Homo-oligomer: A and B are copies of this chain.
Amino acid sequence: MSNEGLILASDSRTNAGVDNFAKFCKMTVFERRGDRVLILLSSGNLAGTQAVVSVLRQRCAEGDAVTNLFGARTMFDAVRLVADAMRDIEKRDASHLQQNSIRFDASFIVGGQVRGEPMRLFRIYAEGNFIEAGIDTPFFQTGETKYGKPILDRVLTQETPLADATKCVLVSFDSTMRSNLSVGMPIDLICYERDSLEVRWRRRFDEGDPYFTSLSDEWGDGVRKVFRHLPELRW
């Protein structure tokens, strides 16, 4: 999240062991133009995260005043509804998973804007409690977070222009995919402009995407060039 907007991105790889992997989109958008945009990114157990999203969609379709995301007055209230849905699914499934020593493990990043409020960005833990991004920590990650974090730490601040932040997020995913097979293309990306209250910029990057490939190559070349120009150690 920067002053100009929000960037949300997710990979599409899921796996139940290295011999069983598949592609599923982990990004879900709830949008009513001019009123609100809520973007959910999921990580963890796919059956769990899909069930949460289905429950949230059904509650929106039913238009229940208390539980539907389009009725929430603030981002905080909307995030509580996502957490409630997570806990409902956990209540239904967790004990059954536990019988096979599987932990119920679904978590979300939720970013967006409700009319009348500034943009807000949250990270919901598997337990349903959550934290909100602030000036000191302008971004969240979920899932495999370590490989891609150093570059985000070095580049992202509240002042980073959206175009630079977009490149940074894509390079972060590139680094992660090189090191962890459980993260893979396609990458879904949304760049939300502050106060637009609609999703104008959305892109999917598939294997071999020309822009993504050139970004990755030029980043690699640029980094090696920076190394050559760094001061040498005098022993």
Size range of the chain A interface in the assembly = 35 or more
Query: Is A92 in contact with chain B by the CB < 8 A criterion?
Result: no
B223 and A166 contacting across the interface, CB-CB below 8 Å: no
B153 and A178 contacting across the interface, CB-CB below 8 Å: yes
Query: A198-222 vs B: 1/0 string, CB under 8 Å?
Result: 0001010000000100110011101
Query: Is A135 in contact with chain B by the CB < 8 A criterion?
Result: no
A203 and B167 contacting across the interface, CB-CB below 8 Å: no
Q: Which residues of A, 145-172, contact B by the 8 Å Cβ criterion?
A: 146-151, 153-155, 163-164, 166-168, 170-171
Instruction: Indicate which residue in B146, B148, B150, B225 contacts A151 across the interface (CB closer than 8 Å).
Output: B150
- When chains A and B are docked, how far (Å) is the Cα of A166 from the Cα of B233? 8
Q: 21 A-B residue contacts at CB 8 Å?
A: A146-B179, A147-B149, A147-B150, A153-B178, A153-B179, A154-B175, A154-B220, A155-B227, A163-B233, A166-B232, A167-B227, A170-B233, A203-B233, A203-B235, A211-B231, A214-B231, A215-B230, A215-B231, A218-B229, A222-B230, A226-B226
